[in-house]
Structure 1
């Protein structure tokens, strides 16, 4: 239940922010927030994250996203681990947010733009943040859990 509510909130925030950008900015318009570091920059991404697979078309991303969503739902209901479920919830919400854009518009609305030490980081949105944070959280947690189990196993052998 809490996961469903979190998904609704995150997808709602993602879609609202994209609507606000499209309503108040022109395509490729830039609004500096922190000069030479962070700006809002409205772009339309027809590819995947970081514009990968640009030109593959909406059906490719629809099928890929549906497969990913099915896998997420399967793993969500086959684990009792709350941290894994939280990670999967974040990834699911992000995937839904970007899927809505692809099906409705044919592209994903991106608008967060950072310049890190002279390098322009790829433009992204709230859904991308959810996917990235969920993925990083999942990987770090699984690595930590594996480390913890390995350490416990070694301690049991010594005993």
Structure 2
């Protein structure tokens, strides 16, 4: 393989890429299967709000914005822009993973984020917004409604933060 091909392959595949790919694929499949089950089998849109516990309801909300419905616009072209953004971010995270040769925790974290971002991005293309179902609430205060992809993204970001604050054994063994 040429030096040029070797450099390109390092941007596409690293030592933990297989793990991240498996995590991303699992998140994507589980998220999409749950969304389509909720919409087409359980028919949550017809049922309205379904109480599960005193603090958790199931409800269908189509989020046409970003987190917490920021930048909310219902036009399909805006949904395509946001879907494209999720693909661009996923490619950038993948390149980071492959080039950095990060550890298992980073591979899990980036796989969770990529799988969640692509799951929500596909929703935008197929239904014109992100399908959200889980509504936590307490004492009359309702937090945002979210889905499995959102949980994966938040867990991935939390793992990235944890990893950034803990440092690796190599950092401890090789001080500057």
TM bucket by the smaller chain? 0.7 to 0.9
CA contact (8 A) 1:32 1:40 kept: yes
TM-score when normalising by structure 1: 0.85
Q: Partner residue of 2:48?
A: 29
TM-score when normalising by structure 2: 0.77
Post-superposition offset of 1:117: 4.5
State which of 134, 138, 152 in structure 2 corresponds to 1:130.
Answer: 152
Question: RMSD in angstroms over aligned alpha carbons?
Answer: 2.4
CA contact (8 A) 1:39 1:113 kept: yes
CA contact (8 A) 2:19 2:107 kept: no
Q: Partner residue of 2:67?
A: 49
- Unpaired segments ≥5 residues, structure 1: none
- Unpaired segments ≥5 residues, structure 2: 1-17
CA contact (8 A) 2:134 2:146 kept: yes
- Structure 1 residues 37-86: Cα deviation after superposition (integer angstroms, max 9, x where no partner): 10111111111122111117113203321221121111110122221121
Query: In the comparison of the two structures, how many residue pairs are matched?
Result: 152
Distance 2:59 2:30 in 1: 18
